[in-house]
Homo-oligomer: A and B are copies of this chain.
Amino acid sequence: MDAKAPPVEKRRQILDAAIHVFARQGFHACRVSDIADEAGVAYGLVYHYFKSKDQVLNELFTERWSLLLAAIEEVDGESIGAREKLDAVARFIIDSYRYEPDLMKVIIVDVTRAANSFGRTHLPEIRRAYEMIAKIVADAQRAGTFRRDVDPEFASMWFYGAIEQLLSGWVFDLIPGGEADFDRAREMLVETICGGLEPRDGVPADG
């Protein structure tokens, strides 16, 4: 009865192939046929499952980014401190890179940082992540955990900007990316950013 595998399989094959091809050559530099070759399917089949080359990347991005958004939301729902929340968010993103570096490379390089092309398209989703992080900060400010003289929107940018720079550093081999480095980098990132956001002598929590 199942003489034939469900068609979904090839669709997945194509997506997975695209991850590696995009990571290797970059979205613009690769041809649709490169994806098909890597997936071991015929050329035109990509167009059977996807409307265009763009759509392949879009789908890859959305698939992953929605996981991120869900993760942030879940983290935010937990009863833990703001520092712990941001630490969890950073951990999620860094782990994404740790376990699927090619996919994250594609998302960072070809979407998130490619602000003129795909970044533009996905700005709303990207922005959504900023906002959720900003919300974590704002809540902490209300709770007195974070100082109030730094706008949550800006705090979110410092935090996300630092993470993106970190991942870029790994992607482009600017900094060592061994197993041991992941945790250490995250700890220092959270320590610095949260340290800067937490109240201290001479900095009243209420701004």
Residues in chain A within 8 A of chain B (CB atoms): 26-29, 109-110, 113-117, 119-120, 123, 127, 130, 149-151, 153-155, 157-158, 160-166, 168-169, 171-172, 174-175, 185, 188-189, 191-197, 200-201, 203
The answer, among B28, B157, B171, B174, for a CB contact under 8 Å with A162, is B157
Q: How far is the CA of A62 from the CA of B28 in the complex (A)?
A: 24
Copies of this protein, total: 4
Instruction: Write out the residue numbers on chain B whose beta carbons fall within 8 Å of the beta carbon of A171.
Output: 115
Leading 5 A-B pairs by shortest Cβ distance: A161-B165, A196-B196, A195-B196, A192-B196, A161-B161
- DSSP majority for the A interface? helix
Residues A192 and B155 in contact in the complex (CB < 8 Å), given A130-B174, A162-B162, A201-B201: yes
How far does the Cβ of A132 sit from chain B's closest Cβ, in whole Å? 14
20 further A-B contacts with Cβ under 8 Å, apart from A26-B116, A110-B116, A161-B163, are A113-B113, A113-B115, A115-B168, A123-B172, A123-B174, A149-B188, A150-B188, A150-B191, A154-B192, A155-B192, A157-B169, A157-B175, A158-B158, A158-B161, A158-B193, A164-B165, A194-B196, A195-B196, A195-B200, A201-B201
Q: How far is the CA of A137 from the CA of B29 in the complex (A)?
A: 38
